[in-house]
Chains A and B, each alone.
Chain A
Amino acid sequence: MITENTTRDEQLNTKLSKNSTIKESQFGSGYLTVIKNAGKSNEEVICKDVHNVLTAEGTAWVHDQCYIDNSGQTGGARYIGLSNDGSFTPDRDDDRASWEAVEENSNGLVRANADSAVFNAGVSSTYIATSTIVKTFTCDTGAVAGIRVSSLLNNTRASGTSILVHSATFTSVDLEVDDTLQVTWVITLY
């Protein structure tokens, strides 16, 4: 059975439709969906299409990569990170350093390259093009309480050079060993 425990405020701040089609005319918006134990009998939808914060350094990076100085291509923003820090509220001025100060770095929840990264060109009736970026984490060493933030970056934590691009909070979720957390980011650009 699927249950929805997203808070009312988060629901009010999203626009949902049958196919998660975002009708707002926004540039480069990210939407986050998190499902605990996806596909299992105890599956739980933690949040659905929560709108992101697009950071300033992320915005600059996207412009450089796409329009300005693409000679130094650094790879896609398809690395997904998690945090359970209760004090972290994503802000446009956040960056790699502020994110890594609160980021999970153990128990199977270390920032990782996406399992799937797929571009959908959309259909001619809407031209809503999306990139869907999915990673399923498995809590593997010890239980972790209060996971409540996810971010998209363009490299691993170990690289020390990544850019924090998108970040969003959701209703906190506790993970026991062997629990999974499927994190889906959908980025629209049209």
Chain B
Amino acid sequence: MAKFHGDTLCVICGTKIEHFEWEGELKNGRLIPAIPCEECKKTL
């Protein structure tokens, strides 16, 4: 299973996520996981 790490922008609010780790397959040709920041996670 693919493992990712790095930094990216929150998929909801655009805040920089300084470090994340992700394990899993990406779909629809994505190269980077679409993930929310901690603050946005609380609203989901």
Contacts and interface: CB of A to CB of B under 8 A. Distances in A.
A5 interface: no
B5 A184 contact: no
Given A20-B31, A184-B31, A186-B31, A118 B1 contact: no
Interface residues of B, number: 13
Interface in A82-119: 115-119
Looking at chain A's contact residues, the main secondary structure is strand
Interface residues of A, number: 17
Contact of A123 (B1, B9, B31): B1
Interface string A124-144: 000000111010000000000
Contacts of A132: 6, 31-32
Contacts of A130: 31
A120 B3 contact: yes
Interface of B: 1-9, 29, 31-33
Given A20-B31, A118-B32, 20 more contacts: A20-B29, A116-B6, A116-B7, A116-B8, A117-B7, A118-B7, A118-B8, A119-B5, A120-B2, A120-B3, A121-B2, A123-B1, A130-B31, A131-B6, A132-B6, A132-B31, A132-B32, A134-B31, A134-B32, A184-B31
